[in-house]
Structure 1
């Protein structure tokens, strides 16, 4: 996944659906980074995913993350969360063999009660913790000469408001993020099994109109290349339908402002279990 996630979930319309409707996954990550945005500080997190294929093209899913922290303030007294938790539901429709449409409902309630923040699950107002994201995901990695992928993501509802210079007249901003990726596969035909299933992925992602400051660690007044990364992944087949990918991901946030709290460079290690 790219959202809440490094890469977007993808429905295989032929082989996977014939095998099973339910997919289970859990990621163990060294820290949670979303599109160059660091949530929950430099703390280990667990991120489960559950997907159910309603039809061969239509999938319903759940994704969550927690770092098991409850502290509200950082040691320097800055009011940012150490503890972070998020619960997302999404629906995904495979339009054709390279284009997938998704709707994500993000919910990130504060771990402690915070004045001026409404943690209501069904509340999508400007002081709430809900956002709806509409995504077009293009994936040319299967059956095409060049394994490109691309994401266009626009926030269409929820806490994504911009204000005038006086802090008045809130308007839905429709913050839009775009990303382009390319994936290399290595040693797929190697006689050494240990060298197979190795991928190298590169991405460049930018938020185009961040006037609502939804991307905290990006530029607010210009296009911001907040998510430039390279990731190497190796997958091990454990048998009985269980796979264990592990990856090392380097992310650079190239925003010119608002990166002071966590910095611009991140190295994230991930171990997953997929069924």
Structure 2
């Protein structure tokens, strides 16, 4: 539910004068099953004019579903210059509703204060066990390794000289034994379950909403001092866009290299400045 996650008032206020937003479905629309049109992300006006508008003129009401045909968010010739409305949609209109923002803020505060030796800093690692099991089968056979498990992430962080007292946040919701290898190297490693209050866990983790958990992860990863993706995926690319917007460009991508220099592992999105977000933030 949109309003359970995002600030509806902020959404409507930001779009005022640009597009009309109805708070409620008209009665006729609510009672009928709307035709669904799947639209790929980042389409041009010609696509809308030829694929969507004709059906809209016939049906009068449509439900649009946006999907991502590619997990890559690099700038292309068609996105070298992004119109201001697209930038507004990507970086301005969505703000967490106050209650959820308070939860995120409290989790970040705990990460910064749990370990007195961390100087108020933490690393966010996007690593979910289920994701590794589903998306990374056959990864070993590829020429370029794209998935890293908990032990490999720990070895990578150690290689680039992060001290063992570093605070680490994992996007996994609850601790699993397959993560033990990382905590053996970095004892101050936490999941949501570790840094949420009992009330927050009851209200959020017990709800079973994976989308809600992803939203929390997105904001905690966007605010971390360093972000490390265990898998190159859409979440990784989306977090980078948010971090570019806020100037937090310390994103390290594990690779099978021996270099101990963090500079050699900076995400290509950053080092080559080819992320779509750079079209909005020159």
Task: Give the strand-richer structure, 1 or 2.
Answer: 1
Q: TM-score range by the shorter chain?
A: under 0.3
Counting helix residues as a fraction of each chain, which structure ranks higher?
2
TM-score, normalized by length of structure 2? 0.24
Larger radius of gyration: 2
Report the TM-score, using the length of structure 1 for normalisation. Answer: 0.24
Specify which structure has the bigger relative contact order, considering alpha-carbon pairs within 8 angstroms and separated by 6 or more residues. Answer: 2
